[in-house]
Amino acid sequence: MTHDEIMARVEELIAAGETTPREALDEVNLPMIRHWAEAMGDTNPRWASVAPPAMAQVWTMYGLDPHRPAADPLHGTMQLLDEAGFTSVLATNSDQTYARNLVPGERPAVTTRLESVVGPKQTGLGEGYFVTTQNTWWVAASDGRREAVATMTFRVLKFKPASRVDPAQTVRPVVNRDTAFFFDGTANGELRIQRCNACGLLRHPPGPVCPSCHAMDRGHVVASGRGVVHSFLVHHAPQVPGKTLPLPLALVELEEGVRMVGAVRSPDGTEVAIGTPVHVVFDRIDDNLTLASWSTSEPPPAAAVEDRASDLPMSRIAITPTLIVSTALATRDFQDVHHDRDLAVQRGSKDIFLNILTTTGLVQKYVVDWAGDDWRVTECSLRLGAPAYPGDTLELSGTIVTRTDGEIVVDVIGAVSLGAHATSRVTVQR
């Protein structure tokens, strides 16, 4: 299927507009709320009588049965892109608003429309299309009309997964008198730039003689590890030992002013483009070789957790397989990447990972636990970054953006060892 054929079908799906309302399988009910709260570790007593706003989407999630109504535009787009070879999916953004809390006995219905399909884009995960849908949840009002209770703009990256390869097969660089300092650095988590000890000029790639003053006395400085893509290409063929294709390769301009060539990956699906901010990551191949490459995701916070600026008390959540699986089930998300490790790996992931409905729930719980029980989440805008895998820790920190008697806006960062897992803005009102 060509790009033009994909986009022609997309135009039809967009033109079809909003779907007819699809009712939740169950009324809002206390057992499902309790399962959700237990899995999230959310002990807020309010959930004994109303549903958490973050559950809005849960009520109308499809079940285990993989069949979907033909009219569902998100499903239609997924199917179309599946057929075109873009078989993997990653949620990237979820922006939700909540008019009020749902109460037990209400049966919400959802309408969906396809807003846009943008692509193909080169991302560090592979080539893909960004698919954006708009959802509205409704309940029947007493006067026979319907009341919108929640909305969501949802964006996913649908991509061709890169084939998995053995990194140990990688082509090994020549390590000699001129370059040994560089690889000693990467082995110790440092990106080193050669410096002329006579005139101070920084230079890369390393060499024996200063190109400016011709001195041979040389040392190095440790770079910040941050830069921007100055230029790039995407290598599609032939296969390179130990590398997944397509492989974005960039000339990165470092903050220190020198440029380095390296592979770029984007665990968060960010498109690789000129000007894209990147930070160095170190790939340990074996005891004798660690390579430097570049990542588009937010870098891990430099400061220790205790030292990071946070108006809200920091919160640490252990990411266990039990948390990932129990919250996936409690949010009625039966995607195999959230419970089946083998299938997750087959789809290009390292392991099972936390789903976006859970991240949304944990971020909202974090803000409400701090703000107090009389505050209600009205908006939550969330961008997903690095995945949260088992064995990692999710560290939540929050800074107050605005605060009045009736409304607080908080920016919440959820960091994992790979970088920012979630960057979000939460509005609470009372």
Q: Which of 14, 187, 201, 202 binds Zn ion (CB under 5 A)?
A: 201
Residue 140 binding Zn ion, by CB under 5 A: no
* CA–CA separation, 416 and 362 (whole Å): 14
**String of DSSP letters for 184-195:** HHHHTT--EEEE
The residue among 256 and 283 lying less far from Zn ion, judged by its C-beta, is 256
Residue 415 binding Zn ion, by CB under 5 A: no
Q: Which of 140, 175, 187, 198 binds Zn ion (CB under 5 A)?
A: 198
- Nearest approach in angstroms of CB 214 to Zn ion is 7
Q: Which of 51, 81, 196, 252 binds Zn ion (CB under 5 A)?
A: 196
Report helix angle 356-371 to 321-330, nearest 10. Answer: 90
* CA–CA separation, 72 and 95 (whole Å): 20
Segment contacting Zn ion by CB under 5 A, of 141-149, 203-211, 245-253, 369-377: 203-211
- Nearest approach in angstroms of CB 186 to Zn ion is 24
- Nearest approach in angstroms of CB 213 to Zn ion is 3
Contact 408, 427 (CB under 8 A): yes
The residue among 215 and 274 lying less far from Zn ion, judged by its C-beta, is 215
Segment contacting Zn ion by CB under 5 A, of 45-53, 85-93, 176-184, 190-198: 190-198
Segment contacting Zn ion by CB under 5 A, of 14-22, 79-87, 207-215, 270-278: 207-215
The residue among 168 and 213 lying less far from Zn ion, judged by its C-beta, is 213
Token pair recorded at residue 415: 């960091």
- Nearest approach in angstroms of CB 217 to Zn ion is 8
> What residues pair up with 218 in beta bridges, in sequence order?
196
Q: Which of 212, 231, 239, 393 binds Zn ion (CB under 5 A)?
A: 212
Segment contacting Zn ion by CB under 5 A, of 83-91, 135-143, 213-221, 408-416: 213-221
Q: Which of 210, 252, 292, 317 binds Zn ion (CB under 5 A)?
A: 210
Nearest to 423 by CA among 194, 136, 112, 94: 94
The residue among 199 and 401 lying less far from Zn ion, judged by its C-beta, is 199
The residue among 69 and 257 lying less far from Zn ion, judged by its C-beta, is 257
Nearest to 149 by CA among 98, 110, 94: 98
Residue 325 binding Zn ion, by CB under 5 A: no
Residue 384 binding Zn ion, by CB under 5 A: no
- Nearest approach in angstroms of CB 258 to Zn ion is 14
- Nearest approach in angstroms of CB 178 to Zn ion is 15
Nearest to 277 by CA among 224, 230, 222: 230
Token pair recorded at residue 276: 């894209």
- Nearest approach in angstroms of CB 201 to Zn ion is 5
Residue 80 binding Zn ion, by CB under 5 A: no
Segment contacting Zn ion by CB under 5 A, of 188-196, 239-247, 252-260, 366-374: 188-196
Token pair recorded at residue 215: 């001195």
Q: Which of 1, 148, 180, 213 binds Zn ion (CB under 5 A)?
A: 213
Residue 209 binding Zn ion, by CB under 5 A: no
- Nearest approach in angstroms of CB 194 to Zn ion is 10
Residue type, 153: T
Angle at 190 between CA 187 and CA 194, to 5 degrees: 105
Residue 216 binding Zn ion, by CB under 5 A: no
- Nearest approach in angstroms of CB 218 to Zn ion is 8
> What residues pair up with 252 in beta bridges, in sequence order?
229, 260
- Nearest approach in angstroms of CB 260 to Zn ion is 19
| Binding residues with Zn ion: total (CB under 5 A) | 8
- Name the DSSP letter for residue 206: -
H-run or E-run covering 226: strand 226-235
Residue 197 binding Zn ion, by CB under 5 A: no
The residue among 25 and 199 lying less far from Zn ion, judged by its C-beta, is 199
Footprint of Zn ion on this chain (CB under 5 A)?
196, 198-199, 201, 210, 212-213, 215
